[in-house]
Structure 1
Amino acid sequence: MGEVSTPDILRGLRISLHVSFAALLLIGVLRVVVGIRSAFGGEWLVVSLSILLACIYVIGTVWESRFAQGQTSRNPRRFVLPWLGAVTLVWAVMTLASPDFSWVAFPLFFLYLVVLPTGPAIASIVGLTAVVIVAQFMHAPSGDFHLAMVIGPSLGAAFAVVVGFAYRAVYRDNERHQRTIRQLQAARLELAEQEQEVGRAAERERLAREIHDTLAQGLSSIVLMTRAARQELENQHPDRALERIDVIEETAAENMAEARRFVRDLSSPALDSDLLTGLREVCTRTAERAHAEGQELQCRFRSEGELPDLPLNHRAVFLRAAQSLLGNVVAHARAHTAVATLQVWPDAVSLDVVDDGIGFANDDDTQLERPDAPSYGLAKLAARARELNGALTVESAPGKGTAVNIRLPLEGQ
């Protein structure tokens, strides 16, 4: 047998209350009709009042139930007191007409205890009990009214009060429980929205990095090579111009592949190959683009140590670092040689990109940790390295080239 929840208990008690009201009212009507036990007006007056009482009671309870279930937006709370007063008045007239309706007072006791505050509820129950005693006195044979006719209704009222208080305690405890549940649901919804916003922000940051390291670098190269091709045409060197146009076409095709993959699954085509092959291709394309732009740049790739099976995010960081750093060499360094070296250590893997270009002032390494760092690429690479518990260091000085190292720890180290 399954566990019974508090709402189920309250629902059962509420149904029992309504069923007992209907059953006691029906018993009273049957006794009046069969025994014609009416003090005035005959049984038809009592039957008419019973129908009226049943209609008033059903209208109020059905309205309250529909509102509780969300089937209507009209709150019946402001009509509770008039409704309860009408039920009490019709019942009092019927009870004074026939004492067979005295038993209907018991479900009314519970109604008063649920609807009204404690003081008014107790006063109303005392009043209902007085009506029952008066009805017993009015219909008792001459000289046959005795103490039991007072004690019986009084004890019944006292028992109803005790049970009613217990019901009200359970009812209010359930209301507090429901409020707590609603607050928890609201807090969970708010937390879920915050997590979604954080996820969206992280995804936007990731896409910004990917676009900078791939599409933006490629488009920058296209712009530079287009200028170089135009200059060759102006200098009457069509063969060199065609060579640069071929590189432009190749770069545009690669960027188109990147864009399509971003749309399809937000990853990168270069990541489909192994890391060493990808890094060699980056160096080869860098040299080709530099040559197409009129630079005499030699770009070499070396690997030292046996490369373990790196996670996808590690491979992505190294590949994007090579693309971004070598792109910077072509765009800014005016170097003749660039060397990318992937080294395997016992506890980490590192990538060094070294060039013999013009270098730059690098007096404050902490600039890489600032969101407003002047170099978007270096700042984002440093952030990506920190996300994987790694680090990025830059060594450079004017006229002495640049060396950038990105180091990522191996898993479990």
Structure 2
Amino acid sequence: MRDDPFSPAVRLLGWAVHGTFLVLLAIAAVQVLNDGLYAAAAGGLALGALYVAGVTFGHWRTSAAQGRGWLVLLTLAWITLALASPDFVWLAFPLFFVYHHLLPLPVALPGVVLMTAAAVATIGWHTHTLTLAQVLGPSIGAAVATLMSMAYRALYRESEARRRLIGDLVSTRERLVRAEGDAARLAERERLAREIHDTLAQGMSSIILLLRAVRRDLDTDRAAADARLLEAEEAAAENLEEARGFVRALAPPALRGSSLADALRRVTESAAARTPTRVRFEVSGTPVALPIGHDVALLRIAQGALGNVARHSGAGNAGVTLTFLDDLVVLDVYDDGCGFDPRGAPGSDGTGFGLRAMRERARAVGGTLTVESAPGEGTAVAATLPLPDETPPPGGTPPPDGDPLPEEAT
């Protein structure tokens, strides 16, 4: 039968119809053999073969014409056999279901009525009489098959309507989620635009006006020029503090009010407190201030790697090392746990989802991430990020809040 949302029940009904047809055909064939009607028995075998071939190899879902042609052949073969022996008349009952399945209702109903009349007439032709039982038998069978088929059609239409409604609801929900995401991004952009316009842009405008006044008064009124310079310096300092406020608002909580090294130390201590693994943190080289994007990427990579150590490695010892080189900063997270084969882990790049996310974070700031591991030999994750050109030279002290902005505006 056709595919639908309650297809198991429909398949069961289909097999019941097929089984009924073949059982009635077998009974009729045995009976005509006992009566010596060998040609009718052979015709019954041919009808069975035609039925099985149509059910097995029919392509009615894509070609309704093939199914209807097959139904015409079945009907003609049934009429021929029913005229040969009344034992084949009762094959009309399963054929009623086939009519309703392959034909639209306005066509199936007249077809069932004609088959019922043919069955009654054939029985009367063989018995030379017509009783009430001979009329009611095929008629009741036709009525039952019709009612069951109509009930299935109604259920199918209702289920299809429900399926379309659910599809529309899912599609609407997806559009709503996308719209909410777009609205949130637009709202955030508008908020930042308002903040920048009301603070940084206004401050910059004030500085420009003050510097123009300084240039105007520099030769004629030195005291006024100095006063204007002092005001410009104060305005620049205020703008710098506003910028730092923006950076702190966008940074992860662990980076607020602290350097990357301090944030990594706290993350390491937290990981050690939550698991039996002994975790050690070290800083190598001279720390320098990094852009907030570098800080966030390295912090998130460390958190992800330590999370993998806690969940999967079973390690007794682990370490986190932050190394500052002349033009690179390197974060190493390693453990002595069970290890794994990076090439066999799920994911398009040979790693799991967590490692894939770490790799994307490193790539987003121009860096790389490598994973070295083998079963039974522990794991080492290394993130290497290039230092930007504007990074202060080695020996400089990073700002206390970890942001990359200089301490002085001048």
By relative contact order (CA 8 Å, sep 6+), the higher-ranking structure is: 2
Structure 2-normalised TM-score? Answer: 0.46
Structure 1-normalised TM-score? Answer: 0.46
